[in-house]
Copies of this chain bind each other. A is one copy, B any other.
Amino acid sequence: MTNKSPLQKPLPFFMPLEGVTFGTAQTNSRYRNRDDLLLVYFDSPASVGGVFTSNQCPGIPVTWCRECLSHPHNFARALLVNAGNANVLTGKEGKEAASLCAQKISKIFDIPIESIFLGSTGVIGEAFPTNSILKAILPAKLSLSPMNWEKAARAIMTTDTFPKGAVGCAYIGNTKVKIQGFVKGSGMIAPNMATMLAYIFTDATLPSSILQQIISEAAEESFNAITVDSDTSTSDMALCFALNKAQNPQPKNLDDPILSDFRRKIREITTELALLVLKDGEGVSRLMHVKVVEASSRDDAKKIAFSIANSPLVKTALAGADPNWGRIAMAIGKSGVKIDFQHVRISFCGIDVAAAGECLSYDESFLQKKMRTVEVPIVVSLGNGQAEAEVWGCDLTKTYIDINAAYRS
């Protein structure tokens, strides 16, 4: 077992939300003596929006959920998540397994099959433990309770070293609504035993179409703005469920001002969850917060920010708390974005280190001390426009190699 991440955070205090209950159970397949199956049940139709991995080799649950979402009357009544086997590249058997699980839940609760969402995380390409999971569905149902949030957050863990959650409130018009969620992941991917799954719940009353837009825009600045190792999971998903219990006024569309606080809060919570994934990154000791400003487009800014956050040389410099701006310049230059280095300014921890194509004078040992912190801000100003983007990355340490070079067995 890997040691707990030094950047771990305790779980927040979850409140029960009317209309949703959580049950967990042991499948005794990959893990022993721990719950590794999560069943979520909605007592009435919940609205739902979701975003998924861009990997061209998506897992079966990803394809399954996409189909549920594209159903004309899409809503959710249940969610089943197992940890230990990702159900990716498992062929025809894997597809049948997903279908059998959904059928069983459909029958137990008498709910439509297209209202049952699935998530799987764990090893790729190995036979899916269908029977063990089918057998554990009933025990999970029997344990359904509105209080089981922490159990739920723990049941979906794989290589995670701590459970992760976030809570908050927002106003829709004058109505206060709750938002709570949990996430698992400790690497954008480790096909052995990881992926990123996020589930967010709100008692707000909102149509799925609006919820879809809200989770999509929030993901762009949270789950899609973090990188552990530049590798993209085959199973990543973030689903947002609205329980439709609050008596909030109904927005006309996404841009209705009554939605602005809710949209901001969802963004804050998804960012908090995304950063928790990063803080549990394999071997992580320090985060970087890369902001690229004065770019000619947001795409350019994000491309450069990721080129920096994904560079092994930048990541190893961060591990050494080294303000090695030459590596930042290199990463900007290799991003493929056309820029003029005469207008570029680079700063670490608020201290400018390079501008106009050359080094500035600064106190290097002072800056090294400042960089020995949990989150190092790196700002790159391109002097080329008004657009900007920010992403979060982490350092690359020997522990990452330890975790990932080991055999799967």
Q: Which residues of A contact B (CB under 8 A)?
A: 54-58, 88-91, 94, 123-126, 187, 189-192, 229-234, 310-313, 316-317, 319-320, 322, 324-327, 329-339, 341, 354, 356-359, 368, 396-398, 400-402, 404-408
The listed residue (B58, B89, B192, B407) touching A358 by CB distance below 8 A is B89
Q: Is the Cβ of A231 less than 8 Å from the Cβ of B125?
A: no
How far is it, in angstroms, between the C-alpha of A324 and the C-alpha of B89 when the chains are bound? 13
Complex A-B: 21 CB contacts under 8 Å: A54-B334, A56-B332, A56-B333, A56-B339, A91-B356, A91-B357, A125-B326, A125-B354, A125-B358, A125-B359, A187-B313, A190-B313, A191-B330, A192-B324, A229-B313, A230-B310, A231-B312, A232-B330, A368-B407, A398-B398, A398-B401
Q: Which residues of the partner chain B approach A319 to less than 8 Å between Cβ atoms?
A: 401, 405
> Do residues A232 and B334 form an inter-chain contact, with CB atoms below 8 A?
yes
What's the Cα separation between A90 and B334 when bound, in Å? Answer: 18
Contact A191 B327 (CB under 8 A): yes
- Chain B residue at smallest Cβ distance from A358: B91
The chain B residue with its CB closest to the CB of A94 is: B358
Closest to A93 in B: B358
Chain B residue contacts of A126, Cβ below 8 A: 359
Q: Chain B residues near A333: list those with CB within 8 A.
A: 55-58, 232, 234
A sample of 8 more A-B contacts (CB under 8 A), given A56-B333, A56-B338, is A56-B335, A56-B339, A125-B325, A125-B326, A187-B313, A232-B333, A234-B330, A322-B407
Please tell me if the beta carbons of A230 and B405 are within 8 angstroms of each other in the complex.
no
**Residue on B nearest A124 in the bound complex, by CB:** B326
Question: Contact: A89 with B359, CB < 8 Å?
Answer: yes
Query: What's the least CB distance linking A33 to chain B, in Å?
Result: 26
B124 touches A312 (CB 8 A): no
Docked Cα-Cα span, A124 to B359, in Å, equals 9
Tell me the bound Cα distance from A230 to B88 in angstroms. 27
Q: A329-B125, A334-B231 are in contact. Are A322 and B408 (CB under 8 A)?
A: yes
For the complex of A and B, 3 pairs with smallest distance between CB atoms: A57-B333, A124-B326, A91-B358
User: Cβ of A313: which chain B residues have Cβ within 8 Å of it?
Assistant: 187, 189-191, 229, 231, 404
Min CB distance A177 to B, Å, is 36
Would you call B404 and A312 a contact (CB within 8 A)? yes
Contact residues in B for A317 (Cβ distance below 8 Å): 404-405
A331 to B56, CA, bound (A): 9
Closest to A356 in B: B91
Q: Closest CB of chain B to A196's CB: distance in Å?
A: 13
Given contacts A125-B358, A312-B400, A313-B404, contact A89 B326 (CB under 8 A): yes
Q: In the bound complex, do residue A330 and residue B398 qualify as a contact, i.e. CB atoms below 8 Å apart?
A: no
